[in-house]
Structure 1
Amino acid sequence: MTCILNLKYHESTVIHMFGISIYLSSDNDFEKTIQQASDKGFSLIFSSLHIPEENPANYRHLLTRLGAAANTHNMQLILDISAKSLAHIGLTIDTADQLTALGVTGLRVDYGLTTVEIAKLAKKIKVYLNASTIDSAFLETLIQAGVDISQVEAFHNYYPKPHTGLDIPFFKQTNAFLHQHGLKIAAFVPGDGEKRQPLFEGLPTLEKHRYSHPFSAALELETLGVDNIYIGDPALQSQTTEQFAAFAKDNTLLLDCQLAPNLDPRIQKHLLKPDNNRMDPARDLIRLEKSRPALAKIDISPTLSNTRPIGSILIDNNLFGRYQGEITIALCDLPIESKINNIGRITPDSIAILPFIKPGQTFQLRPNNESK
């Protein structure tokens, strides 16, 4: 019997810093997108000055709009730049800090800039470095140049081309090194709405996440030491956005489910309320802490629906004595049990969230009648 492994969370930070990506296209409704994201708890924006598919002639006008909207909603705006791309808006590395007047709060820099140029820039505006290319010698050079490391963060790439994303062992090793040197870390997960041109294959940092659900991918990045997580693609589905919003607000995980027809309304009402995994977590089950006290007085008769595949929503029936009324979620395929009724199932996308339900974690089921 193989069960889902509960993953150890990165201890030094609780990630409630989520970001969106907005690209400088003339048909992009920046203002509406940013307002909606802000309302849902997103506080970061990533954009870029060097996307080959966009027209650089429009950059300054579009960036002015983007910066104004970010400022209105008190969202940080991190802009990916190079010396060449700055020239498109009439700036150089020496004058790049002027972007702050447009609402830009940080600059992500990569190839083409010398250590001296990066050090000079970091004294004027927060700088985000390519996380994969930072080493001890480079950091020492920055410090010797008088850079305040608190003004520097690490930012992983996204990878549009399939099979080019990072592997987990390298990612973990890199992140451990960066945290040892006091750097915060950002990375990307793909969206599940509109995909980014030209390949439309998602924009993840980890190759594992290319076709993953964005929210479960984000939760995994947290376990791997990431502090700030951005959606690489331009859009999320509304249901997914609500999952990010609930987690950003009060650390609640939303799980989609299909419930059995003709389920006792009293049981269904409790099922759709927030509950907690017990503080003493079971290996094989998520145990809903509030279920047994709330449902103990209901006589729950055995049914023939007593299979227990992974993701099953289960309730102990009256054959289980004092455990009657306890609701659980199967973390692995379990044998048939006559003392337990199967009353629903978690959708496949939400099964991917189950490993991240910690002891005491608040979560809430929501009905989803569409099979995924």
Structure 2
Amino acid sequence: MFGISIYLSENNDFEATIESAAKNHFSLIFSSLHIPEENPANYKHLLTRLANAAKKNNMQLILDISAKSLENLDLTISQADQLTTLGVTGLRVDYGLSTLEIAELATKIKVFLNASTINRPFLEELLQAGVDIAQVEAFHNYYPKPHTGLDTVFFKQTNDFLHEYGLKIAAFVPGDGELRQPLFEGLPTLEKHRTCQPFTAALELESLGVDHVYIGDSALRPETTQQFATYAKDGTILLECVVTETLAPELMKQLTSLDRNRMDPARDLIRLENSRPALSHLEIQPINKNTRSAGTITVDNVLFGRYQGEISIVRKDLPAEVKSNTIGYVTAQAMLLLPFIQPGQSIQLSPVGKEMPY
């Protein structure tokens, strides 16, 4: 599942942001009670607004807390479950709580622990304290300061360990719209994602064992939101492309139709499964454009016999092939998504304006 981050500021239009996110198939909200840039005196009022908007749009609300931050709501740790009356569905606890307090809290509300600091003795102690592991999840931090994000190897090893205990895992990718104060450097979990396109980063997090991906910053560009929405709805990956040839209407229609990578995936190509059956009746003549660098889009011509009409996306540089016509290429950003396309993965090519080939 995908989530957004909402920060408790008077200037934040929670209601519109959450309504839009829900319409785009985001189902989770992360917020925090200890953001030093905000005024804690306003937290109760703002949290009530936030929780009401989350409930109205059927979104889960996970709140980052500590014993100190709860004081701003006139609550103690033993009273933290009272936040459920507002509509908070989970509490992320980073520090200041004992294993006994966590186990007790987990009997009342789902608890999210800092994924990067959990070790085996701590988990065993939690289990000894009688915690219901189904009520506990692991949640990585985001890192506002450049060069402080996690290393990929450590991240994967941590996730593998946490999955041994049956814990679900959440992590952050940066936004690509308005970035979060005070540094405006993105809010990723992995340092390599700091300047990465958010949807690409999200697919990589999934490949590294993450169950729930949150946008750490406050905004996404509309085209990025559409990528997340389409994927969250039915698992389809949108690939922007440039069409370089004038195509027959039937071929152009098929090129931009919903399709999928074959279940028996080729090493070198993404083969669009429905293209050949749909276009086999056409007589596609060879053209003098048949180079096949990585990212190019090809359609097999009459010289390929029964393969005529098959549309492919080239994964790696291949020799020119007179039996395949080069008709376009995916954009540089779409190229980064190709490694995450799985067998049977739904794909839709989306033509955009001219872009220089990479």
Residue identity opposite 2:82 in structure 1: Q
CA distance in 2, matches of 1:299, 1:148: 63
1:158 maps to which residue? 142
Normalising by structure 2, we get a TM-score of 0.96
CA distance in 1, matches of 2:110, 2:185: 31
1:7 maps to which residue? none
1:120 to 104, 108, 111: 104
Q: Over residues 222-260 of structure 1, what are the superposed CA-to-partner deviations in whole Å (9 max), with x where a residue is unaligned?
A: 111111111111111111111111111111111111112
Secondary structure at the counterpart of residue 42 of structure 1? coil
Residue identity opposite 1:222 in structure 2: E
2:258 to 274, 296, 313: 274
Secondary structure at the counterpart of residue 233 of structure 2? helix
Give percent identity, aligned residues only: 69
CA distance in 2, matches of 1:233, 1:145: 36
| Equivalent residues, number | 356
- Alpha-carbon deviation of 1:197? 1.0
User: 1:199-348 residue pairs with structure 2 within 5 A?
Assistant: 199-348=183-332
- Alpha-carbon deviation of 1:261? 4.4
1:12 maps to which residue? none
CA distance in 2, matches of 1:32, 1:370: 34
CA distance in 2, matches of 1:197, 1:22: 13
2:46 to 47, 62, 65: 62
Q: Over residues 193-217 of structure 1, what are the superposed CA-to-partner deviations in whole Å (9 max), with x where a residue is unaligned?
A: 1111111111111111111111111
Q: 1:350 and 2:297 equivalent?
A: no
**Residue segments in structure 2 that go unaligned for 5+ positions in a row:** none
- Alpha-carbon deviation of 1:370? 6.0
Normalising by structure 1, we get a TM-score of 0.92
> Which has the larger displacement, 301-310 or 196-205?
301-310
- Alpha-carbon deviation of 1:320? 2.1
CA distance in 2, matches of 1:149, 1:299: 60
CA distance in 1, matches of 2:82, 2:172: 27
Q: 1:85 and 2:69 equivalent?
A: yes
- Alpha-carbon deviation of 1:168? 1.4
1:76 maps to which residue? 60
> Which has the larger displacement, 136-145 or 59-68?
136-145
CA distance in 2, matches of 1:302, 1:288: 20
Q: 1:188 and 2:172 equivalent?
A: yes
User: Once superposed, what is the RMSD of the aligned Cα atoms?
Assistant: 1.4
CA distance in 2, matches of 1:20, 1:228: 11
Residue identity opposite 1:271 in structure 2: L
**Residue segments in structure 1 that go unaligned for 5+ positions in a row:** 1-16
Q: For the Cα contact (< 8 Å) 2:52–2:87, is it kept in 1? A: yes
Secondary structure at the counterpart of residue 73 of structure 2? coil
Task: Considering Cα pairs closer than 8 Å and 6+ residues apart, tell me whether 1 or 2 has the greater RCO.
Answer: 1
Q: Over residues 275-309 of structure 1, what are the superposed CA-to-partner deviations in whole Å (9 max), with x where a residue is unaligned?
A: 11111111110011111111122222222222222
Q: 1:179 and 2:166 equivalent?
A: no
2:122 maps to which residue? 138
Residue identity opposite 2:15 in structure 1: E
